[in-house]
Structure 1
Amino acid sequence: MEVRSVPSSNSLPLDLPGISSEMLGVAEEAFRAGNFELAAEIYGSQLDELPHPERSLHVRRGDALALAGKIADALNAYTKAAMLGRLHPEELGVLVESIALNIREKELKLPCFRRKDDHGPINEAYQGMPVPCAINIPEDPSESSLSLDLFSCPKCKMLLLDPVTLNCGHTFCKKCLSEKESIECSNCHSKHSNIAEGLGKSCEGLKVNVVLGNLLEKWLGEETRIRRLSLEGESLLQNNNFTGALEKFTKALELAPGDFLLAVRRTELHLAMKNFKQALIDADNMCRKHLLWPKARSMKAQALSGLGRTEEAMKEFLYCVAINPEWSSMKTEAQKIMCDVFFPAFENVQASLKPVFLNSTNSPSSVKDVSFAGCSEDSLFRLTKASSLESDLFQMKDFLDNAQNTPGNILSCLPSTGLKRKHASNSEEPHSVEITAKFLKKDTETLCEQVITGTKIREIHMVLVDAADFECSLCMRLFYEPVATPCGHTFCLKCLERCLDHNPHCPLCKENLSQYLASRAYKKTHLTEELITRYLPEDLTERKKLHDEEIQELSNLNKDVPIFVCTMAFPTIPCPLHVFEPRYRLMIRRSMETGTKQFGMCIADELKGFADYGCMLRVRDVKFFPDGRSVVDTVGLSRFKVLSHGQRDGYHTANIEYLEDKKVEGQEYEELLALHNSVYDQALVWFTYLKDNLKAQILSHFGQMPSKESELQANSSGPAWCWWMLAVLPLENKAQLTILAMTSLKDRLLAIRRVLMFVTRKRPR
């Protein structure tokens, strides 16, 4: 026999007069060990020796008999206790648990449930098997089986209604975001106080994502209408407008008859309005579709109770406890009803019952014990038949029919007793709840799948999918890295950035986006991107191919190289830039996006637009200002010669070739080295004797003068100190450009010497 460690709420004093405390101790030990039949036998023998009945001992004996599976004898014991003092619902906890447990194992065919405080073994038939989720359904199981897919709100888990996209890129129902003043993304936990302050903290301040809102109306129009009706119903319900709320839920259910969440809300509303007949109809329909859903069972029980059909209500409450043994509120309700139905009846017919029930140990006509798990006799809750119990109870039919609300009638209404007694005065049979094991298994598997996955993919007919619904209004192409603005409009990321370079207003509605621009929170809208990936994979592949080609073209550092027309730049020398023009904002951003982080710098030319020689710059850092301006920290890399001039999107471009110094050897190298050392010393002297304030300015802008290099021709542009000196010497741009274009280190050194001699002669003495 399987041992179940079931705690009892009924305490038993061991110091009762006339009772052997030693024997009671043995009985209690047997009870704790799971030998309930022995415990019941000892309790019975002790009761026989008492001169006066002891109520607590009868209750304890009833607990032991109930756990042993002998429900009829247990009822006799509880009845005797009720004769001595009215029973309280909490004293029937063991009886309710035992009945529910046997319903669970014998009728519902579910694995043995192990309590959190139960260390007893699980039924051997289910050892090593995973326990289905449907067995441990929470008190509101509808929350565990909600549909959750791309179109579901991450917060309420239901279909998105009036979708609002936050700056982080996640999308929620408008109502879900407006419930609290502070806006925080439940996905990435990012704060969005700047949006709340800029657009207002009320529901009206949040702007619906136009693209997603239109898609939901087009693709899931009926479900959207149902969702809207449901929310309207909830709103009316909060204002205690029950009639209006009922009308909304009814309209929603007409559109979606199979939506069990709507059915639950309408049933709860009927219960609140005391429309118990309608509540029973709704709850019964849900029970037929979801046999193992305790929520539906509980509402059916409440409706039956409200209609005064107490016995049927008790049956449904027992089902709830059988399906979910940890649902304490349902267990309490079952105990209350069982106490009200069983034992007040015993008090009313004490004299009549005494010969049959109260003397079960002496009377041959007493109800035969009904055995459960571990016993060989038929179970009270067996699905196929209960012939032994049925024959025993039918022997008392004449007596029981004359005593209303007696234990016999209650037993016959318990789930699946197998009793099919028809009363002459009652032409209608109670609704049968017999369920085949095969159908139960199928329903269990369905619920398990829903709860485990938590996902139900909504199917979208491809005929509804149109690439035009995902078209950027700026580039007229499929969204690539779609970004939703706070005003609810969606653009390609690159398109939006280019527009904000020129004007801090939405290109469509002209709403001021200064705060959005200042935050630079250009995060992709995850839902829009996922929808494109799922439903337009070929279009996305083509769009990505086009984007990659553009990036590859922009990454070419020889052809169509972006040119910043501003000032002179030299290899190895820092060149900080203040970027404010829209065309150069775009140019800098593209150089960062391509990964090259490079562009050319040339001085202006009145005829050609920019000079024929320049220097490539590499971006080391970019700092953005709220209005879109930026400070770009760059450093010179290599010189180039312009082969042809061009333009792209407003800024200059050029085809270029890079310049390298011509290398020399032998005697020429020795002469070059001597010249190099001489000019370096001359430059060092000049810099040393500069005024302190002028020297400080040079050091703060260009840094220390580089030291001499051991190998003059290691760098294709020559020693770094030459370029540092050329940058700090007071020369016009044209003169600097001439020296920049030289490919002979010797010529460059001679030019620097001439400049040094000139500035030294003009230095005041």
Structure 2
Amino acid sequence: MSSQEADSSLMLEFAAQAFQARNFQLACEIYERQLEEKKAGLVDWGLLLKRADCLACSGKLEEACDLFQKAAAHNKLSADHLETLVSCLADHLWTRDPPAAQQHNTDALTCRGCQGFLFEPVTLLCGHTFCKKCLECQGAGKSECKVCRASSEPPYRVNVLLSNILSKWFPGQVRSVQLRQVANGLYQDCKWPEALAIYNEAISIAPQDYLLYSNRAMIHFSLKSYGCALQDAETACKLQPYWLKGHLRKAQSLVNLGRSEDALKEFLFCLALDTGNKTAKSEAQKLLLNLLSLQNDQGDLPEILQTMSHPLRLKGNVLSSLSTPIPQRLKMVNMDIKNGVTISEETDPKCSNSIWLSHQTPETTLSCSELTRTSTGGPLAIVPSTYTTRKRKACLKEAESEQIPCKALNIDPAVTDILGNDHSSDSCVDSSDLDCSLCMRLLYEPVTTPCGHTYCLKCLERCLDHNPKCPLCKEDLCEYLAIRTFCKTKLMEDLIASYFPDELKDRKAVYEEEIAELSNLNKNVPIFVCTMAYPTVPCPLHIFEPCYRLMIRRCMEIGTKQFGMCIGDSVKGFADYGCLLEIRNVEFFADGRSVVDSIGKRRFKVIRHSQRDGYNTADIEYIEDHNVQGQEYEDLLTLHNSVYDQAFNWFTALKPALKSRILSHFGPMPANDCDVQANPNGPAWCWWILAVLPLESRAQLPFLAMTSLKDRLTGIRRVLLFMCRSRPR
């Protein structure tokens, strides 16, 4: 290899690296210099096409087009060579007017799988709702929620309450979906005229359902009525301006009508919505190649250059459709543009024209086995603008997560919904339709069980405390109980907030009053009637009774994490003195049992005994030790040190096995306090030794009630003296 060839090879390597680093200007200059150094009359078409790619990526689309035209004139251009140019054109659409910047409205009752009205709705454990058929089309095994990516698995049970509501409130739309399914079956049997008649009926019922127009366009296409197919596809695009499938069908209709440039504009717009859509990219490359070759024979490229110079003109009727007012309907902001569809380019034996998207059928479930999800990311090297793949995804994610107030759903009984149904009659929409079957009140924080029944979250938890079965159908919910995370049904919450805001406000006020009452640590304090508890001393508990499951859960939910502990009393139910415990940790088991790690905090005296929801409660007042001063304090300090040494010696003399059990349960003996009156409950070691000493509960209770540290120390000394005398020698 000569030095000149070596230098040329090195420069080409530099150019490739510059292109990869997105320094398109440098790469373009290197390729241009290399082309100039070639002998006169000889053109390195590979270098020329690479330079054209650099020009396109740097935004010089007109110059790039000249080079591609030159290559086409010598039959050196293929559709694959136009991949970069097509991507740049689509990227210009995104840069100038990104879809994520638009407000993309879909109905609140739209399935995120098939993009159609919910039919036979199934609520997953994550709280999101889809059509049953959409979930079943994902396969027999586990599948992912298209909203939160949580895993789910069959069997899929219809949400009974939501299904009844949809049938009552939206009978027309439910009927249209049923007709659509019948028509889909007829289409698959190649009974296209019959399917067309069914779709005509469905559209007369739901004239604003864009899926019906899209599917009817498919039937017109199969019947080679391309003009009708285009009309329906355009209607679908007007109703849903940023729906990828609608624009794909419109583009294919334009191709068969011979309107290549308009079809190219639509395919480029599809790529702006989803840069990873292989069908749109492939078709756009083929059309652009044909147009370049055709215009080459005519000598210039006026329309193509105009299109490339002004990418916003590519949208044509799409932009004009945005100015058309969409009828008042159920709305929510939802940017689902990134969930595009990649479709195989094999021919469909049922279609007479092989150019149609092969696996598209009137079935609107985009998640069927023939379709696969794609990401929106594209090759970094061919995206010239600052909208990199990462920024596109971030932009889409931000728009997708955008929330608007529930009132924006525009669900108003006084207006006409998307079906054209008049809800002016109050008998159609009734708040009782959304009542919990357990508390008979408006659903608050609704959750749906795997068997399809919906309850208030708190109502369901209380039922599962007693029996791990569905309160209505008695289906076993042990596995559901084991999850311990009951996600609220988002759609049900939205319906309640939109239809019955006043009732929801009242329901929430009642709930907040109950929570405020439960948060009071002086009145109606929950009492666990069990063993003796002391301040600063750990108190592990095994919770299995339903009433105490409820009590512990409430303590955790309201945030106090505190409850009282008292020993039992045959007359009053529980003793007049106890200790407030603070929950440090709770470990739940699959069957609903739990182990609570708690520690003593404050002593209290019971003022009034009572009960709530099956467990004991009490009005209490807290008690503290009385402080002393002067000579009394000096005497108290002397007594304290003496009793501490006595207790320490007693514990040290215990047998190793017994000492080990005490240490594992209560921890080490606390150190001697310098200021014996610093803690209102007295020194911590006093309570530790009382918990360790083998005394009956009735003998321990007086120590808890004492407000004199001197009396408590004197009592402990007497017990220790008795224990030392009774110890076997």
| Short-chain TM bin | 0.5 to 0.7
| One of 274, 283, 297 as aligned partner of 2:230 | 283
The corresponding residue for 1:421 is none
Flag the 1:66–1:557 CA change in 2: closer, same or farther, 3 A: closer
Q: What is the CA RMSD across the aligned residues, in angstroms?
A: 4.7
Structure 1 residue 469: Cα displacement? 2.1
| One of 514, 519, 522 as aligned partner of 2:483 | 519
- Give the stretch that moved more between structures: 714-723 or 465-474: 465-474
Q: Does the Cα contact within 8 Å between 2:536 and 2:599 map onto a contact in 1?
A: yes
Structure 1 residue 162 corresponds to structure 2 residue 126: no
Q: Helix, strand or coil: the match of 1:565?
A: strand
The corresponding residue for 2:535 is 571
Render the CA deviation track for 1:124-157: whole Å, top value 9, x for unaligned. Answer: xx9xx963569x9xxxxxxx99852422222333
Q: Aligned partners of 1:491 and 1:753: how far apart in 2?
A: 57
Q: Aligned partners of 1:168 and 1:29: how far apart in 2?
A: 54
Render the CA deviation track for 1:657-689: whole Å, top value 9, x for unaligned. Answer: 111111111111111111111111111111111
| One of 588, 606, 612 as aligned partner of 2:552 | 588
Flag the 1:641–1:280 CA change in 2: closer, same or farther, 3 A: same
Structure 1 residue 442 corresponds to structure 2 residue 320: yes
Q: Does the Cα contact within 8 Å between 1:268 and 1:299 map onto a contact in 2?
A: no
Q: Aligned partners of 1:593 and 1:667: how far apart in 2?
A: 49
Flag the 1:626–1:711 CA change in 2: closer, same or farther, 3 A: same
Q: Aligned partners of 1:442 and 1:333: how far apart in 2?
A: 24
Structure 1 residue 638: Cα displacement? 1.2
Structure 1 residue 330: Cα displacement? 6.5
Q: Aligned partners of 1:536 and 1:553: how far apart in 2?
A: 26
Q: How do residues 364-443 of structure 1 correspond to structure 2 at under 5 angstroms?
A: 372=302, 442-443=320-321
Flag the 1:447–1:673 CA change in 2: closer, same or farther, 3 A: same
| One of 171, 177, 199 as aligned partner of 1:221 | 171
Q: Helix, strand or coil: the match of 2:539?
A: coil
Q: Does the Cα contact within 8 Å between 1:473 and 1:491 map onto a contact in 2?
A: yes
Structure 1 residue 460 corresponds to structure 2 residue 460: no
- Number of residue pairs the alignment of both structures matches: 565
Render the CA deviation track for 1:298-348: whole Å, top value 9, x for unaligned. Answer: 554566xxxxxxxxx43x234323554676537747988999x99xxxxxx
Render the CA deviation track for 1:457-506: whole Å, top value 9, x for unaligned. Answer: 76433245432222112122222211111111111111111111111111
Structure 1 residue 750: Cα displacement? 1.0
The corresponding residue for 1:618 is 582
Q: How do residues 457-606 of structure 1 correspond to structure 2 at under 5 angstroms?
A: 459-462=410-413, 463=426, 464-606=428-570
Structure 1 residue 522: Cα displacement? 1.1
Structure 1 residue 319 corresponds to structure 2 residue 269: no
Structure 1 residue 590: Cα displacement? 1.1
The corresponding residue for 1:383 is none
The corresponding residue for 2:162 is 212
Q: Does the Cα contact within 8 Å between 2:651 and 2:659 map onto a contact in 1?
A: yes
The corresponding residue for 2:151 is 191
Render the CA deviation track for 1:605-664: whole Å, top value 9, x for unaligned. Answer: 111111111111111111111111111111111111111111111111111111111111
Q: TM-score, normalised by structure 2?
A: 0.67
Q: Does the Cα contact within 8 Å between 1:478 and 1:540 map onto a contact in 2?
A: yes
Flag the 1:725–1:260 CA change in 2: closer, same or farther, 3 A: closer
Q: Aligned partners of 1:319 and 1:715: how far apart in 2?
A: 84
Question: Given residue 585 of structure 1, which amino acid in structure 2 is its aligned partner?
Answer: R
Q: How do residues 145-156 of structure 1 correspond to structure 2 at under 5 angstroms?
A: 148-156=106-114
Larger of the two Rg values belongs to structure:
1
Q: Helix, strand or coil: the match of 2:610?
A: strand
Q: Does the Cα contact within 8 Å between 1:170 and 1:526 map onto a contact in 2?
A: yes
Flag the 1:289–1:250 CA change in 2: closer, same or farther, 3 A: closer
Structure 1 residue 239: Cα displacement? 6.0
| One of 613, 631, 643 as aligned partner of 1:667 | 631
Flag the 1:64–1:714 CA change in 2: closer, same or farther, 3 A: closer
- Give the stretch that moved more between structures: 664-673 or 468-477: 468-477
Question: Given residue 576 of structure 2, which amino acid in structure 1 is its aligned partner?
Answer: D
Flag the 1:489–1:678 CA change in 2: closer, same or farther, 3 A: same
Structure 1 residue 726: Cα displacement? 0.8
Structure 1 residue 114: Cα displacement? 7.1
Flag the 1:730–1:242 CA change in 2: closer, same or farther, 3 A: same
Q: Does the Cα contact within 8 Å between 1:286 and 1:296 map onto a contact in 2?
A: yes
Flag the 1:241–1:573 CA change in 2: closer, same or farther, 3 A: farther
Question: Given residue 614 of structure 2, which amino acid in structure 1 is its aligned partner?
Answer: G
Q: Does the Cα contact within 8 Å between 2:237 and 2:318 map onto a contact in 1?
A: no
| One of 276, 279, 283 as aligned partner of 1:329 | 283
Question: Given residue 319 of structure 1, which amino acid in structure 2 is its aligned partner?
Answer: D
Q: Aligned partners of 1:486 and 1:623: how far apart in 2?
A: 24
The corresponding residue for 2:700 is 736
Question: Given residue 745 of structure 1, which amino acid in structure 2 is its aligned partner?
Answer: L
Flag the 1:669–1:465 CA change in 2: closer, same or farther, 3 A: same
The corresponding residue for 2:652 is 688
The corresponding residue for 1:609 is 573
Structure 1 residue 252: Cα displacement? 2.1
Q: Helix, strand or coil: the match of 1:575?
A: strand
Q: Does the Cα contact within 8 Å between 1:297 and 1:317 map onto a contact in 2?
A: no
Structure 1 residue 233 corresponds to structure 2 residue 180: no
Render the CA deviation track for 1:103-140: whole Å, top value 9, x for unaligned. Answer: xxxxxxxxxx9744689xx9xxx9xx963569x9xxxx
Flag the 1:131–1:447 CA change in 2: closer, same or farther, 3 A: farther
The corresponding residue for 1:139 is none
Q: How do residues 43-58 of structure 1 correspond to structure 2 at under 5 angstroms?
A: none
The corresponding residue for 2:345 is none
Q: Helix, strand or coil: the match of 2:142?
A: coil
Structure 1 residue 558: Cα displacement? 1.0
Q: Aligned partners of 1:214 and 1:540: how far apart in 2?
A: 20
Sequence identity percentage? 47
Q: TM-score, normalised by structure 1?
A: 0.64
Structure 1 residue 763: Cα displacement? 0.7
Q: Helix, strand or coil: the match of 1:656?
A: strand
Q: Aligned partners of 1:567 and 1:64: how far apart in 2?
A: 91
Q: Helix, strand or coil: the match of 2:536?
A: coil
Q: Does the Cα contact within 8 Å between 1:294 and 1:320 map onto a contact in 2?
A: no
The corresponding residue for 1:702 is 666
Structure 1 residue 229: Cα displacement? 2.6
The corresponding residue for 2:62 is none
Q: Aligned partners of 1:230 and 1:458: how far apart in 2?
A: 25
Structure 1 residue 256: Cα displacement? 3.5
Q: Helix, strand or coil: the match of 1:262?
A: helix
Flag the 1:249–1:279 CA change in 2: closer, same or farther, 3 A: farther
